[in-house]
Amino acid sequence: MDAAVLTTPAVLILLGPPGAGKGTQARMLEEKYGLVQLSTGDLLRAAVAAGTDAGKAAKAVMEAGGLVSDEIVINILRDRLGEADCAKGVILDGFPRTTVQAEALDVLLGETGQKINAAISLEVDDAAMVGRISGRFTCGGCGEGYHDSFKPLPDTGACSNCGSTEMKRRADDNAETVGSRLEAYHAQTAPLIAYYEGKGALQKIDAMGGIDEIAQGLATVVKGAMD
Ligand code: ADP
Ligand code: ZN
């Protein structure tokens, strides 16, 4: 299936713990189907970098691996969702993360007559997540994701996508914070699996394999969700 087949703007949600690969897969879906990736983590990191009120309130919580308040996150998401490019359809990566956020999303989408095509749960073992997260970094030039062991830079040391050599590691991608992030996931976000199951929107895929393998599983689910 290619982008041309998408006649109505789709809304896809990626669920899964930190390290499950939501960002990596969202970027691939973005390219493949012309959807817009909405990562509340990226939006919050931009707010922190810009020093906005929301960013100032979010910074310490993010560094500790907790969840930023629903109010801040919902406001940021609402603003972003209202921008013109989102009319092409969106992949939500890292939102919703609480039941309050899921309910707010239902209201937001209802206002514009949109609906969720699928909430896709990336199923992984917690034990593997620490290794995935502690080794990851992204290209400062284009945002491409890399990993010390699973997806290293080419021998040139430059990004294969844009040629930049400036790489970034997130402040919260360390072994101590990962534990808190996984705890927050199980306590506050995992209940959303039942929430979307109840709506008949849930799809589960095995996300323990390699990046391309997961992408294939995802493509099958996405294709089914668009029909
Ligand atoms: P990951 O999924 O790998 O933990 P993200 O980039 O999605 O990374 O999120 C990083 C941090 O940003 C989270 O640990 C949390 O503090 C904050 N955050 C992101 N999205 C949300 C959200 N929907 N609700 C509350 N906090 C969020
Ligand atoms: Zn790059």
User: How much is the pLDDT for 112?
Assistant: 81
**Catalytic site includes residue 136:** yes
Apex 37 CA angle, 34 and 42, nearest 5: 155
pLDDT at 12: 96
Q: What average pLDDT does the segment 33-45 reach?
A: 94
Pick the residue whose CA is nearest to atom 14 on ligand 1: 65
Q: Under a CB-based contact definition with an 8 Å cutoff, are residues 70 and 101 in contact? A: yes
Distance CA 219, CA 188 (A): 27
Looking up tokens 């062991």 gives 149
- As a whole number, the mean pLDDT across the chain is 92
- Helix, strand, coil percentages for the chain (3-state, nearest 5): 50, 15, 35
Q: Is 152 exposed, middle or buried (0-12, 13-18, 19+ CB in 10 A)?
A: exposed
- pLDDT at 175 (0 to 100): 84
Helix residue spans in 98-210 (DSSP H): 99-111, 126-134, 175-184, 191-198
Tell me the whole-structure pTM to 2 decimals: 0.90
Determine the pLDDT at residue 9.
Answer: 79
- Ligand 2 centroid vs 156 CA: distance in angstroms? 13
pLDDT at 176: 87
Atom of ligand 1 nearest to the CA of 66: 16
Q: pLDDT tens digits for 52-83?
A: 999 999 999 999 999 999 999 999 999 999 89
pLDDT tens readout for residues 129-157: 999 999 999 999 999 999 999 899 999 99
Judged by phi (left if over 0) then psi (alpha if -120 to 50, else beta), residue 23 lies in alpha
How close is the Cα of 39 to the center of ligand 2, in Å? 18
Closest CA to 55 of 67, 41, 42, 45: 45
Residue 1 has pLDDT above 50, yes or no: no
Ligand closest to CA 140: 2
Whether 127 has a pLDDT exceeding 60, the answer reads: yes
Among candidate residues 22, 27, 59, 132, the one labeled active-site is: 22
